[in-house]
Chain A
Amino acid sequence: MTLLLIFSFLTFTNPAPAPTGYTIGDVATDFSLKSVDGKMYSMAQFDKAKGFIIVFTCNHCPFAVKYEDRINDLAKMYTDKGYILLAINPNDPEVQPNDGYALMQERAKEKGFVFPYLFDEGQKVYPQYGATKTPHVFLLDNERVVRYIGAIDNNADDADAVTEKYLENAISALEKGEKPNPNMTKAIGCSIKVKK
């Protein structure tokens, strides 16, 4: 990781950071992160899970906020089907105070989140996944293999105008033993907040 960072500083022709994080087929790392309920959560706790929906999201980002209800609905829809949704706030509250732990607890309570809303203490998990913005979704199967990365659907502004439910379609594919297609999609989001 450090080598990649050094290398990217040396490549003057295209200073864009070298892509890091997972791609389709990689095995994703587990973690142990604190949720708004005060408890620690890991994927290992859910040994009967058919898959995991890891959503990097936060309080402050307007795009993440647009998806809050949808994320909650997805958790309600899929937990019984064996897909565990875990939301992770990757931001540094010192850079973005609205993403602090206490405010996460407030938001979870206010919106009735039914899923663990985890704080990426030390910001160590999101770089391993390669999350670059909020919201950013990684769908894993029961062996934690990454099967879909990207957007939840194709209309952030208007849930009623969605024509492609990318994440739901990806889960349906997994249920049928098929490969999600598309397996990667792109959308606009807020950059992840780290100290400079």
Chain B
Amino acid sequence: MVSMVRSVCIPFMVVMFSTSLCGQIPAYHSFDAFAKEHLERSDDTMYLFNFWATWCKPCVEELPHFITLSEKVSDGPYKIVFVSLDSYKNTEKLFAFVTEKLPNQSVVQLTDNKYNDWLDKVDPSWSGSIPASLLQKGLKREFHEKQFEDFEDLHTVWLHFIKN
């Protein structure tokens, strides 16, 4: 049987909510390219970038909490982006994982391994461990180098960020 095109087809949703792509996982080989497209925002959308990798157990454990969050959020435009730090050598594995576990989510792959050049640009306090999450709305940013223990933990942080 001819295998279908290796793509994750996700329905295009209203622009208010997370838009997704019908195709492969966008990969950024340079952090600056990723930042230009995703971090340099001035609109009113609430962004949550979760830095993770398939090989990172605590990262994988907390993914469901973000999915729950995406289902529960009701106030204002928002976008949750899962930024995988899987190596370019691991793209196949990442694709299989995302197809199964994050089928309706916005996922990108950031393969720039010159970490010393860009970790600080995400947040100067980031020591380099994952999982880590960046909340951003307009010019306001908040960074959490931690694993969210449960949905409540994540939800509390989300709500607090929005209200302040």
Taking CB atoms, residues of chain B closer than 8 Å to A186 are 115-116, 119-120, 126-128
Which of the residues B85, B125, B147 comes within 8 Å of A191, measured between beta carbons?
Answer: B147
Contact of A188 with B128 in the complex, beta carbons under 8 Å: yes
For the residues of A in contact with B, the DSSP-based class is loop
A133 within 8 Å of B (CB atoms) = yes
Taking CB atoms, residues of chain A closer than 8 Å to B151 are none
In the complex, A132→B128 CA distance in Å? 8
Contact of B142 with A189 in the complex, beta carbons under 8 Å: no
In the complex, A133→B126 CA distance in Å? 11
In the complex, A129→B119 CA distance in Å? 21
Taking CB atoms, residues of chain B closer than 8 Å to A96 are 57
Q: Tally of A-B residue pairs with Cβ under 8 A?
A: 67
A112 within 8 Å of B (CB atoms) = no
Contact of B114 with A154 in the complex, beta carbons under 8 Å: yes
Contact of B164 with A15 in the complex, beta carbons under 8 Å: no
Known: A16-B144, A16-B145. A190 touches B113 (CB 8 A): no
Return A165 CB to nearest CB of chain B, in Å.
Answer: 13
Within 78-126 of B, Cβ neighbours of A (below 8 Å) are at: 85, 87, 89, 113-116, 119-120, 125-126
Flag B7-31 by CB within 8 Å of A: 1 or 0 each: 0000000000000000000000000
Contact of B144 with A15 in the complex, beta carbons under 8 Å: yes
Known: A15-B144, A154-B114. A62 touches B55 (CB 8 A): yes
B157 within 8 Å of A (CB atoms) = yes
Taking CB atoms, residues of chain A closer than 8 Å to B131 are 191
Taking CB atoms, residues of chain B closer than 8 Å to A190 are 56, 129-130
Within 121-160 of B, Cβ neighbours of A (below 8 Å) are at: 125-131, 142-147, 149, 157, 160
Contact of A16 with B113 in the complex, beta carbons under 8 Å: no
Known: A186-B120, A191-B58. A13 touches B164 (CB 8 A): yes
Taking CB atoms, residues of chain B closer than 8 Å to A16 are 125, 143-146
Taking CB atoms, residues of chain A closer than 8 Å to B115 are 151, 154, 186-188
Known: A186-B126, A187-B128. A157 touches B116 (CB 8 A): no
In the complex, A13→B142 CA distance in Å? 9
Taking CB atoms, residues of chain B closer than 8 Å to A14 are 142
Contact of B157 with A188 in the complex, beta carbons under 8 Å: no
Taking CB atoms, residues of chain B closer than 8 Å to A188 are 85, 115, 119, 128-130
Contact of B130 with A187 in the complex, beta carbons under 8 Å: no
In the complex, A151→B120 CA distance in Å? 14
In the complex, A154→B58 CA distance in Å? 24
A185 within 8 Å of B (CB atoms) = yes
A196 within 8 Å of B (CB atoms) = yes
A23 within 8 Å of B (CB atoms) = no
Output the residue of A14, A166, A182, A192 with the most chain B CB within 10 A: A14
List residues of B whose CB falls within 8 A of some A CB. Answer: 55-58, 85, 87, 89, 113-116, 119-120, 125-131, 142-147, 149, 157, 160, 164
12 pairs from A and B in contact (CB 8 Å cutoff)? A12-B160, A14-B142, A15-B144, A15-B146, A132-B127, A132-B145, A150-B116, A151-B115, A154-B115, A157-B89, A166-B116, A186-B115
